[in-house]
Amino acid sequence: MGITIEGVSKRFGEFQALHPTDLTIPTGSLVALLGPSGSGKSTLLRLIAGLEKPDTGRIFLTGRDATHASVQERNIGFVFQHYALFKHMTVRQNIAFGLEIRKASRAEIQARVDELLELVQLSGFGDRYPSQLSGGQRQRVALARALAVEPQVLLLDEPFGALDAKVRKELRKWLRRLHDEVHVTTVFVTHDQEEAMEVADQIVVMNQGRIEQVGSPAEIYDHPATPFVMSFIGPVNELSPRSQLSCQLPEVQTGPHQLFLRPHDVQIEVNPGSSGVSARVKEIIHLGREIQAELVLSDGGSLWAHLSREQYANQPLQVGQQVYVRPKVVKAFPVKKNDKKTEMTRVPVGA
């Protein structure tokens, strides 16, 4: 087993950063801890690293109980959002740091640093200081430095958070490729669902100090376990149970539910004879890949719809136009009294 966490919790003063949590991360996997700020994802990562001490529970790294081991003893690699490079050392010296601490021989260090410079595509940059590098280059140095000690676990805390959009995209792809080459168990923290989906094998969605769901990107998107996961991963419309769009659903008759409709699951017809709920187009926004329309239902509720470019070309809309709307798929989460936890049922509508 790569990393096993049993009943680990952490409190900072009055703030319960992490409720008792269990999690297993298989050896060699690439896992994203995804959640909004304050969800406990960074705390969990720092607990695994040993940079924080858990209040309860136990942490196992590659099968060994590491709960009371210091950061130094855990043999992890840690990459920080703001690089945390040693400014007074050259790129070479930065990468060699962990090896020097481990008293590796001069020749060994030389060879390993050369190999890592090659791996992070910075071969000509060994003698530069961090201040002479771009943000993306600095983060690659940080990664090489962490990998130099051959850690059993690589931990990255918002590694692309400080970079601009283009560099971020490149580095994501690059991290994915790197992991395919190096195969070290890797956990990274992000608040960006697109980043998590693109890079990770497994996503751990966190909210308010708890794990909401663990699964592959497809599972998380197609079968969200909770209303939070549904609304955090991708855009959603939340429907009122009294809305014309949802009042005929069988679930609504059986008890209180939270209802969600993805914008791309909204079917729009312009033909007056169609059976949908009547609505008016309030605004049209071109998002590039797709077209977003804001619709106002005849009962006053508003709804976002996403149309592909093709759909839009076949059926152009105009602001103020009368249309008829049908939901393709509505996801319903029963609301239990005295319990926030809900289960999901999948409801195909009007098939």
Partner 1 sequence: MLQALSQLSWPWRLTLGYLLLMLVLPLAALIAKSSTVGWAEFWRIATDPVALSAYEVTFVTALLAALVNGVMGTLTAWVLVRYAFPGKKLLEGLIDLPFALPTAVAGLTLATVYSSNGWVGSLLAPFGIRISFTRLGVGVAMLFISFPFVVRTVQPVLQELEKDVEEAAWSLGASRFQTFRRVVLPQILPAVLTGVALGFSRAVGEYGSVVIIASSIPFRDLIAAVLVIQRLEQHDYAGATVIGTVMLGISFLSLVVINLLQAWGSRHET
Task: Please give the residue ranges that form the binding site for partner 1 (CB under 8 A).
Answer: 49, 51, 70-72, 75-78, 80, 82, 84-89, 97-98, 101-102, 129, 131-132, 142, 145-146, 148-149
* Burial status of residue 32 (CB atoms within 10 A of its CB: 0-12, 13-18, 19 or more): buried
Q: For the CB of residue 92, give the shortest distance to partner 1 in the complex, in Å.
A: 13
Q: For the CB of residue 119, give the shortest distance to partner 1 in the complex, in Å.
A: 17
Look up residue 226 and give its two tokens: 């909770």
CB proximity list for 267: less than 8 A, separation 6 or greater: 276, 325, 326, 327, 328
Please give the single-letter amino acid code of residue 346: R
Sign of the alpha-carbon dihedral angle for 11, 12, 18, 21: negative
Residue (102 or 177) nearer to partner 1, CB? 102
| DSSP state at residue 268 | E
Residue (99 or 281) nearer to partner 1, CB? 99
Residue (85 or 230) nearer to partner 1, CB? 85
Q: For the CB of residue 147, give the shortest distance to partner 1 in the complex, in Å.
A: 11
Q: For the CB of residue 16, give the shortest distance to partner 1 in the complex, in Å.
A: 22
Residue (51 or 270) nearer to partner 1, CB? 51
Sheet holding 202-207, edge to edge: 76-79, 153-157, 185-190, 30-34, 202-207, 210-215
Residue (76 or 236) nearer to partner 1, CB? 76
Residue (146 or 200) nearer to partner 1, CB? 146
DSSP SS3 for 299: coil
Per the DSSP assignment, residues forming a β-bridge with 323 are 279
Please give the single-letter amino acid code of residue 139: Q
The CA distance from 34 to 190, in Å, is 5
Angle made by CA atoms 111, 114, 120, in degrees to the nearest 5: 140
Q: For the CB of residue 229, give the shortest distance to partner 1 in the complex, in Å.
A: 30
Q: For the CB of residue 96, give the shortest distance to partner 1 in the complex, in Å.
A: 10
